[in-house]
Amino acid sequence: MSRNLTADLAADLRTRIVDGDIQPGGKLPSENTLISEFGVSRTVVRAALTRLQAEGLVETERGRGSFALTPPPGSPAAGPGGRPVASTEDRLHLLDFRIGVETEAAALAARNRSERQLRTLHRALEDFTGSGPHPAHAMKFDYEFHRAIAAASGNPFYADCLASLGQTMIAMPRTRLMTGVEHYARENFEQVVQEHESIYAAIADGDAASASAAMRNHLANSRRRLRAAR
């Protein structure tokens, strides 16, 4: 009976993550909430979370709770217009789309950003830089950094576009999400931090051409990293 309860709970949480009800980086309901909601024991809750961890859908941090990760290829995230992003090839196409959109957004942000928007962007950069040990947090703050740039462009259509994509647009290779692959994860995370810093510096300096080039370099490198992780 407990095995069926575990499977049922895991299936419910899996659906919430895959359908985007719990976004990548989002916190799952607490153990006590799940116990109350499903009428199961703590053992069943922990077994279900362990199953989702094994599937690469959840990361649990001691004392903080469990967080959703990016659904792996085969899980229907959504791209522009609701188009499914169900494979690595789809994610590569999405990165190509983002290059076209976000390079111009970065250039506009360098021209149009306010001091308040620059502070928001800097805070997102600091949050991302400090999130290295926590992949779920890194995804959240990576997205916040890009969303802050879109907002600073001064064109609401850029902000609306990134808001519609949500955190699923952050295409982290599985090796970056797996804390067990420490060297690979650390090396690539530090590179992404440097790329974000270059984008921020160009926007802070009001250098539109450099901001556009730095964003293009970052997203092209993201595409390369994703290809290498296949």
Q: How confident is the model at residue 174 (pLDDT cuts 50, 70, 90)?
A: very low
Q: Taking 90 as the threshold, does the pLDDT of residue 59 lie above it?
A: no
Instruction: Print the SS3 string covering 76-134.
Output: CEECHHHCEECCHHHHHHHHHHHHHHHHHHHHHHHHHCCHHHHHHHHHHHHHHHCCCCC
Residue 122 confidence (pLDDT): 98
Phi/psi for 60 (5° steps) reads -110, 130
Does the structure show a pLDDT above 90 at 195? yes
Instruction: Kindly report, residue by residue over 91-115, the tens digit of the pLDDT.
Output: 889 999 999 999 999 999 999 999 9
Token reading at 67: 């967080």
Question: Which is higher by pLDDT, 226 or 190?
Answer: 190
Q: Decide: pTM greater than 0.75.
A: no
Domain ranges (residues) in the chain: 2-68, 77-228
| Cα–Cα dist 199/183, whole Å | 25
pLDDT of residue 11: 84
Render pLDDT for 103-159 as a digit per residue (tens, 0 to 9).
999 999 999 999 999 999 999 999 999 987 676 677 778 989 999 999 999 999 999
Q: What is the pLDDT of residue 138?
A: 78
The angle, 0 to 180 degrees and rounded to 10, between the axes of the packed helices 115-129 and 135-152 is 160
pLDDT, position 88: 74
| Span 2-68 CATH architecture | Orthogonal Bundle (1.10)
Superfamily the domain 77-228 falls into: GntR ligand-binding domain-like (1.20.120.530)
Residues whose CB falls within 8 Å of the CB of residue 157, separated by 6 or more in sequence, listed in order: none
pLDDT band at 73 (very low <50, low <70, confident <90, very high): very low
pLDDT > 70 fraction of the chain, expressed in percent and rounded: 80
CA distance 59 to 211: 34
Pairing assessment for the beta strands 58-61 and 65-68 based on DSSP bridges: antiparallel
d(CA 13, CA 69): 12
Q: What is the pLDDT at residue 177?
A: 45
1 DSSP 8-state letter:
-
Q: Give the chain's mean pLDDT.
A: 83
CB atoms within 10 A of CB 82: 7
Query: According to the model, what pLDDT value does residue 180 have?
Result: 38
